[in-house]
Structure 1
Amino acid sequence: MTADDAGSGTAEEREAWDAAAPDGAVRDTGARESAAAEAPEEAPDEALDEEDQPDPIALRLEQLILGAERRYTPFQAARSAGVSVELATRFWRAMGFADIGQAKALTEADVLALRRLSGLVEAGLLSEPMAIQVARSTGQTSARLADWQIDSFLEGLTDPQETGMTRTEIAYPLVELLLPELEEFLVYVYRRQLAAATGRVVQAADDVEMVDRRLAVGFADLVSFTRLTRRLEEEELGELVEAFETTAADLVAAHGGRLIKTLGDEVLYAADDAGIAAEIGLRLIETLTHDETMPELRVGIAFGTVTTRMGDVFGTTVNLASRLTSIAPKNAVLVDGAFAEELSRTGEAPVSEAEAAEAAAAAEKEGEEPPSYRFALQPMWQRPVRGLGVVEPWLLSRRA
């Protein structure tokens, strides 16, 4: 069945469409069919009010990027893809797009995407809720990436004074040149990240560990950021945040951690190994301390079971790391007891300096090399932490 044959549909689908239609859309079946018959096929945006007609340049850009013209209403796209309007609407919203009423705003690419996603459900490879999660996670991630790229390219690569053209005028040729290369690069990075994530799953001890895993989770937080927002100009503040996020992302990746997310003045990272998380935390402090443009930094790290969902991490361990960050001294790293115990278990740090001295003396007596530790741990005063009870933080440092 083609999209043009999809004006009727079952009663259930028409009811689902009518329920999803925004205020002002044609809800009566007869009125809908009449409106469809009156609308010329070659005018894809006829359903829009005159004042809502898309900008011609925006429409040309859309066709360039999507590689297809607008042809379908949401109802027609769903019927052509062989899915219910309700499911198509859920996919559409999950990807982060607003309801579009009965406008002919969808393309063959939209139909193909619906077919592929619903096909995975029909084949039993994905459940319907999982398919919705796939749409949502992909939409959220790509929306942020697209916004960042367009803002950066139009700001950094276009100068109306030098080119004699406005950014609107230069947007089309710029996208035309960059799109093929960026698309190839995006697929490459995605495959690389998918390979890395799959490798971590394969190395997990069991199926439970794939979702609920024992990880080291660290927060790094800029000190007095609120005061900075009042003192700095918007452009200066943006440059500071970008420099902080770039530095943190580079250090986390270089030492084997994973950057989970950035929150302006704060970054959240994770690592499978406590020693890696400790190295990242101390490197962040050391690097930013030597940058006079950066404020001071606090880091908190905890170790324990973490639930992972859609690339994010949740659970008591994450909350504890956040609380440790809030009570950490300036330019210092605080860790919890489980993290300190893990460092000691793996030989990265002594349980205490007294134990380290005894081990060194025993090794010297036997003519052996004394144990070599990377980190030192100093117990701090126990204190109540909101929502988590009493904790005993440890101050992490490098061992001389």
Structure 2
Amino acid sequence: MTVDDTGAGAGRGGAPDPGSDDSGPVPAPARSGDSGRGPGSGTAESTDGDGDDPLALRLEQLILGAERRYTPFQAARSAGVSMELASRFWRAMGFADIGQAKALTEADVLALRRLAGLVEAGLLSEPMAIQVARSTGQTTARLAEWQIDSFLEGLTEPPEPGMTRTEVTYPLMELLLPELEEFLVYVWRRQLAAATGRVVQAADDEEMVDRRLAVGFADLVGFTRLTRRMEEEELGELVEAFETTAADLVAARGGRLIKTLGDEVLYATDDAGIAADIALRLIETMADDETMPELRVGIAFGTVTTRMGDVFGTTVNLASRLTSIAPRDAVLVDGAFAEELTRTGLAPAQDAAVDPAPPESPAPRFVLQPMWQRPVRGLGVVEPWLLTRP
């Protein structure tokens, strides 16, 4: 991609004229909660780093591996993209507007050039490239926040009286950065391999967009009351313990943790038996921990739309509703999930007492008990089933 010799923007590949209206503010790397401030900028219109903390600038240069060289307009022009597209990419990644401050680096230019190059080569559509930027930004923003708030904050406590955190942070980051970067790439490649495997095993393209999955919600009972009784630090430890336990159990059994919502986790699997086992193991594990509140789980089975790592649709809504009406320390499932367990021989059919299974049949792993039909807001009348072990 090259910039048009006239300086006028030519589609996605051209840079805008400096005097045009297209040279407005472009987001630059900064947390979206910084109220429009760019990295180290005193104000959105700052053009130098005179008011910045020297350590903050040194840390930024260490982490980014480059010095600030470009304004947003200069970065877009150097990358060979329009200001409009550059702005869309940066906002999608979650970065705040900085006006025309000189706060961008060679790496920022390269990132813009790569994304735009994928679009120009036809490997990604422009909307898909925006989605790639948004999903990557959202995921890594949460990771970075966790590492700073929970991991690095504890490690950078001054080890000796009289030492400042400033004297500890830079050398520690210098040592940790390459190791964390290598580990991040390793985990990403592993996850990408697993996701690619699911695509290859899918029967057709439609199955990957609208898949039949078992979706489970696990919810801590009485969490709102706990927030009024517990100290913030204690509550945070409880939530972290719950999320850690749930994530470990889901991963160990081959499920996929979709997201955590403090007092609730959402997971999904292709296999109803695995989803059922995860739910019951969660109940059993939490019941053995006296520090944990009671738990309830709802599972539904059916068509699910997947997008940017999340799941949507009626099946997801039904699983959520089942969780809200489930008894304490119990698992409720919908009729489709119960039918799937029965079809695969993991639970006995309802007429098993009249027509028992042959002696050579394996013992069922789960038991289903029909509950009273009830109306569920937005979903009509459902017949939940209580899931237990034999």
Instruction: State TM-score, norm by structure 2.
Output: 0.89
Q: Which residue is equivalent to 2:40?
A: none
Q: In the superposition, relative to structure 1, how do residues 81 and 280 fare at CA in structure 2: closer, same or farther (>3 Å)?
A: same
Whichever residue aligns with residue 349 of structure 2, its letter is V
Partner SS state of residue 112, structure 2:
helix
Find the aligned partners of 2:332 and 2:71 in 1 and give their Cα distance: 56
Find the aligned partners of 2:109 and 2:226 in 1 and give their Cα distance: 48
Q: In the superposition, relative to structure 1, how do residues 94 and 189 fare at CA in structure 2: closer, same or farther (>3 Å)?
A: same
Whichever residue aligns with residue 384 of structure 2, its letter is P
RMSD of the alignment, in Å?
Answer: 2.4
Q: Which stretch has the larger CA shift, 283-292 or 51-60?
A: 51-60
8 A contact 1:6–1:76 mirrored in 2: no
Whichever residue aligns with residue 389 of structure 2, its letter is R
Find the aligned partners of 1:21 and 1:82 in 2 and give their Cα distance: 15
Q: 2:352 aligns with which of 347, 350, 355?
A: 355
8 A contact 1:95–1:139 mirrored in 2: yes
Q: Which runs of 5+ in 1 are unaligned?
A: 23-44
Q: 1:386 aligns with which of 355, 377, 380?
A: 377
* 1:159 CA displacement: 2.7
Partner SS state of residue 260, structure 1:
strand
Q: In the superposition, relative to structure 1, how do residues 6 and 186 fare at CA in structure 2: closer, same or farther (>3 Å)?
A: farther
String of CA shifts for 1:193-227, please: whole Å, max 9, x gaps.
00000000111111001111000000000000000
Q: In the superposition, relative to structure 1, how do residues 2 and 206 fare at CA in structure 2: closer, same or farther (>3 Å)?
A: closer
Q: Which residue is equivalent to 1:298?
A: 296
| 1:243 counterpart = 2:241 | yes
Find the aligned partners of 1:71 and 1:59 in 2 and give their Cα distance: 13
Find the aligned partners of 2:250 and 2:231 in 1 and give their Cα distance: 28
Find the aligned partners of 2:280 and 2:26 in 1 and give their Cα distance: 54
Q: Which residue is equivalent to 2:32?
A: none
Find the aligned partners of 2:96 and 2:47 in 1 and give their Cα distance: 17
Q: In the superposition, relative to structure 1, how do residues 250 and 46 fare at CA in structure 2: closer, same or farther (>3 Å)?
A: closer
Q: In the superposition, relative to structure 1, how do residues 2 and 223 fare at CA in structure 2: closer, same or farther (>3 Å)?
A: same
* 1:170 CA displacement: 1.8
Q: 2:324 aligns with which of 323, 326, 340?
A: 326
8 A contact 2:217–2:319 mirrored in 1: yes
8 A contact 1:288–1:294 mirrored in 2: yes
* 1:372 CA displacement: 1.6
String of CA shifts for 1:297-337, please: whole Å, max 9, x gaps.
01000000000000000000000000000000000000000
Q: Which residue is equivalent to 2:79?
A: 81
Q: 2:154 aligns with which of 156, 162, 168?
A: 156
- Structure number with larger C-alpha Rg: 1
* 1:345 CA displacement: 0.7
8 A contact 1:47–1:104 mirrored in 2: no
Q: Which residue is equivalent to 1:143?
A: 141
Find the aligned partners of 1:21 and 1:121 in 2 and give their Cα distance: 20
String of CA shifts for 1:39-93, please: whole Å, max 9, x gaps.
xxxxxx9962689832211111010001000000111111111110110011011
Find the aligned partners of 1:264 and 1:6 in 2 and give their Cα distance: 54
String of CA shifts for 1:215-257, please: whole Å, max 9, x gaps.
0000000000000001000110000000000000000000010
Q: Which residue is equivalent to 1:226?
A: 224
Partner SS state of residue 298, structure 2:
strand
8 A contact 1:6–1:79 mirrored in 2: no
Find the aligned partners of 1:302 and 1:91 in 2 and give their Cα distance: 36
Q: 1:217 aligns with which of 192, 215, 236?
A: 215
Whichever residue aligns with residue 65 of structure 2, its letter is G
Partner SS state of residue 355, structure 1:
coil
Find the aligned partners of 2:349 and 2:343 in 1 and give their Cα distance: 9
Find the aligned partners of 2:186 and 2:203 in 1 and give their Cα distance: 28
| 1:398 counterpart = 2:389 | yes
| 1:17 counterpart = 2:14 | no
Find the aligned partners of 1:184 and 1:313 in 2 and give their Cα distance: 29
Q: 2:131 aligns with which of 130, 133, 140?
A: 133
Partner SS state of residue 300, structure 2:
strand
Find the aligned partners of 2:6 and 2:46 in 1 and give their Cα distance: 18
Q: Which runs of 5+ in 2 are unaligned?
A: 10-14, 28-42
Instruction: State TM-score, norm by structure 1.
Output: 0.87
Q: In the superposition, relative to structure 1, how do residues 67 and 346 fare at CA in structure 2: closer, same or farther (>3 Å)?
A: same
8 A contact 2:25–2:72 mirrored in 1: no
Structure 1 residues 1-400: aligned runs within 5 Å:
10=9, 12-14=16-18, 15-20=20-25, 48=46, 53-160=51-158, 162=160, 164-352=162-350, 354-355=351-352, 358-360=355-357, 363=358, 368-399=359-390
* 1:180 CA displacement: 0.3
Q: Identical aligned pairs, as a percentage?
A: 82
* 1:153 CA displacement: 2.4
Whichever residue aligns with residue 376 of structure 1, its letter is V
Partner SS state of residue 217, structure 1:
strand
Q: In the superposition, relative to structure 1, how do residues 163 and 144 fare at CA in structure 2: closer, same or farther (>3 Å)?
A: farther
Partner SS state of residue 55, structure 2:
helix
Whichever residue aligns with residue 194 of structure 2, its letter is A
Q: In the superposition, relative to structure 1, how do residues 197 and 51 fare at CA in structure 2: closer, same or farther (>3 Å)?
A: closer
Find the aligned partners of 1:314 and 1:200 in 2 and give their Cα distance: 18
Find the aligned partners of 1:6 and 1:226 in 2 and give their Cα distance: 62
